[in-house]
Chain A
Amino acid sequence: DTGVSQNPRHKITKRGQNVTFRCDPISEHNRLYWYRQTLGQGPEFLTYFQNEAQLEKSRLLSDRFSAERPKGSFSTLEIQRTEQGDSAMYLCASSLGDGFNQPQHFGDGTRLSIL
């Protein structure tokens, strides 16, 4: 179990630029989640995949946000035309199985700073 890996750990970019984050889940985990965490708050659910299918994306914050998991393994989260309010920690988590009590395992996150 090598854990959930996220890259990059930090991203600094200018307003208006596009950014892409990568998440490598625990290898046998079929579910992959993206969350956003702003300062002083708990993580907020954005979207999730079961294998390669994105089954919930209504919580994505705007149409500037998109996510993919092309082969059911790693996933990317892209933000287009970044805005100041996008500055946050973006967390990825993965889990095995479909039960409500299956714990989600989190990566260390990508911290995005918009100049």
Chain B
Amino acid sequence: DAGVTQSPTHLIKTRGQHVTLRCSPISGHKSVSWYQQVLGQGPQFIFQYYEKEERGRGNFPDRFSARQFPNYSSELNVNALLLGDSALYLCASSFWSKGGTEAFFGQGTRLTVV
């Protein structure tokens, strides 16, 4: 069975540009969450989507947005990129919308903003 898949794996963008990251959850999982991990820190929660609805948002600016599609895949969009947006972006999928269960992560997208 395929795990969580993310694309692309690496990306280099220029300040001010826009980026779209994609995620396909584990088959049967309806919840997708996005996390940002900068060097030396643990992953930080950005968004959670369940059944195409936003269920949670972390402390990130409005330049960050996301959506979930009918097949439960998801996109994370970041506008007006800043150097500080350089990070590993992780997607996690889980069966339920709430906790108390495991979340499984993809391999991540390494975004570098120059």
Q: A and B, one complex?
A: no
Please list the residues of chain B having a beta carbon within 8 angstroms of any beta carbon in chain A: none
